[in-house]
């Protein structure tokens, strides 16, 4: 591959992006499985349980709050109320709190004595995995969104059909995100009342 005259050559990545994404998804699944296994085998004393509950709630605020922020801005973009560049900047800025919040929720959750035999708990555990994998999917959409034109007429390289498909993927990603986070939160609330 040669670069156009007068431009810097585009470096070839050592590992293809698809391989990195697949490895990240496998890593997420492995961490999830290890955490579920640990939750079944660990028993926290009452003080550690209370600390874990506080950490769990704090991580919910951090992670879900960041998700709500970026999803709200994404909705405003879909409605034509915010520019895409603003949404992408916000998404880039809140990725660390989202992932830290999710990691904290998973880590503290295994000390809260979840009952994997209960149907609601199994649903919640599944929702947590879906949220994490959906987060990886959202991350893969960012470069494609950044390649869209900022405004004005669309160039020939981005067809209307491709743009609509990308917008539909973004909307479905937001929907899965919201259903997953809200579902896990509601189940956590219901389980805490038992």
- Residue 98's contacts (CB-CB under 8 Å, 6 or more residues apart) are 63, 66, 67, 70, 135
CA dihedral 94, 96, 102, 106 (to 10 degrees): -170
pTM, 2 dp: 0.82
pLDDT in tens, 42-99: 888 999 999 999 999 999 999 999 999 999 998 898 888 999 899 999 999 999 999 9
User: How far apart are the C-alpha atoms of 55 and 61, rounded to whole Å?
Assistant: 10
CA dihedral 31, 49, 66, 182 (to 10 degrees): 90
User: How far apart are the C-alpha atoms of 111 and 114, rounded to whole Å?
Assistant: 8
């Amino acid at each position: 591959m040669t670069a156009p005259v007068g431009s810097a050559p585009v470096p070839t990545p050592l590992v293809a992006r698809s391989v990195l994404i697949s490895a990240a998804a496998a890593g997420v699944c492995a961490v999830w499985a290890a955490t579920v296994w640990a939750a079944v085998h660990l028993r926290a004393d009452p003080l550690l349980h209370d600390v874990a509950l506080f950490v769990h709630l704090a991580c919910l605020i951090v992670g879900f709050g960041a998700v709500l922020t970026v999803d709200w801005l994404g909705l405003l973009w879909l409605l034509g109320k915010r520019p895409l560049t603003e949404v992408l900047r916000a998404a880039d800025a809140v990725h660390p709190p989202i992932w830290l919040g999710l990691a904290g929720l998973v880590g503290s959750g295994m000390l809260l004595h979840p009952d994997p035999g209960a149907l609601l708990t199994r649903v919640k555990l599944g929702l947590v995995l879906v949220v994490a994998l959906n987060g990886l999917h959202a991350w893969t959409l960012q470069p494609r969104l950044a390649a869209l034109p900022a405004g004005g007429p669309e160039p020939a390289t981005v067809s209307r059909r491709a743009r609509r498909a990308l917008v539909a993927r973004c909307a479905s990603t937001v929907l899965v995100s919201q259903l997953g986070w809200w579902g896990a939160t509601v189940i956590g609330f219901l389980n805490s009342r038992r």
